[in-house]
Amino acid sequence: MNQANDVLGLVPEDGYTESAFILGVERIHPDLRFEYRPITLIESVAYSRAVKDLDGKELHEHSAKWAAGRLLSWDLRGKDGKTVPIQADMLTRLKPRLFYRMQAVLLGNEAPDIDPRLSAAKLEQEEKDRAAAAAAGKSLAEWRAERDQKN
């Protein structure tokens, strides 16, 4: 997973993935970390058209099947402590607040939360890198690629 949580403003055609973190809500759902394939504009339109006339159970089943196809991995655990399989029927059993938040991230409508597992030093370096990239007029990924080529 991409621990620096770099994101691009476009989705390359090379198997690009993003990491996400959703902060747990006490007594509702635990923290969730996952890796996924970001959605493109064309895919967003196709999704919107597919769900336009759906409601209730059909809408939720379609949304769960779609989300299962975007997710690559996650750390959701069941009562037995094992990782829950990423399958549409499992996603329909998520607590609604967790599912809707994850769906908003998958659709690109909301940013994931900042993962507290990132150390203070990593977060500080992240801020420095972002500032340097902005000053250079480059994306964070471009700036880091150039920096890494020089080193």
**Digit-coded pLDDT (tens) for 29-54:** 999 999 999 888 899 999 999 999 99
- Token digits for 127? 């801020």
**pTM attached to this predicted model:** 0.74
DSSP per-residue string spanning 4-15? T----SS--SS-
Residue 73 has pLDDT above 70, yes or no: yes
pLDDT band at 6 (very low <50, low <70, confident <90, very high): low
The yes-or-no verdict on residue 16 having pLDDT over 80 is no
Whether the predicted pLDDT of 2 surpasses 70: no
Average pLDDT, integer, range 97-124: 89
Query: Could you write out the DSSP letters of every residue in 67-96?
Result: HHHHEEEE--B-TTSSBPP--HHHHTTS-H
Report the percent of the chain where pLDDT is more than 90.
59
Entry field: residues in the chain:
151
